[in-house]
Amino acid sequence: MKNSVAVLGIRVCLLFPILFLFSCSSPNKKSAANQTGTKENIHKVDTVTINMMKFNPEILKVDKGDTVIWLNKGMVAHTVKSYRDNKFYSDTLAPGKTWTWVVTDSAAYYCTLHPATMMAKLLLNNK
């Protein structure tokens, strides 16, 4: 594994001046590779937008430790509450406001003010 990385590194070094002539994207590619190398330490930040009486996306794939931000872009107040185990409850979220939760588990959730129609899910990615 280390060897192949080293070889790759040498190749990148050799290729770099050539690639640089054709494209400015090479340094970016290199940093992207560094990021994937330390993937476990990087947590995503996702946004669920509330608009037209819907959570969007209705199903969001997340990992534990990710941050989910709910943004109320609608015309009335809403809430974000998990169905079971009191995993989370935002209380009233006025238009224009956000509410944040750091993922500890998957959860089906709904809006307590509009319980008949506003429901969505956070699903954990398979590891």
Contacts with other proteins by CB under 8 A lie at 52-54, 74-77, 95, 112-118
Question: Considering beta carbons, is residue 19 or 57 the nearer one to other proteins?
Answer: 57
Using CA atoms of 93, 98, 104, 106 in order, give the dihedral in degrees to the nearest 10: 70
Identify the burial level of 76 via C-beta atoms within 10 angstroms of its C-beta, where 0-12 means exposed, 13-18 middle and 19 or more buried.
exposed
Indicate which single residue of 55, 72, 78, 90 sits in contact with Cu ion (rule: CB under 5 A).
Answer: 78
Closest separation between CB of residue 72 and other proteins, Å?
A: 12
> Which x/- pattern, by CB under 5 A, does the window 32-71 give for Cu ion?
----------------------------------------
Q: Which one of Cu ion, other proteins, none interacts with residue 21, CB within 5 to 8 A by kind? A: none
Residues 40 and 12: their CA atoms lie apart, in Å, by 24
What kind and span of H or E run contains 6? helix 2-22
If one asks whether residue 111 binds Cu ion (CB under 5 A), the answer comes out as yes
Task: Output the smallest distance, CB 108 to other proteins, in A.
Answer: 17
Q: Torsion-angle region of residue 60: left (phi > 0), alpha (psi -120 to 50) or beta?
A: beta
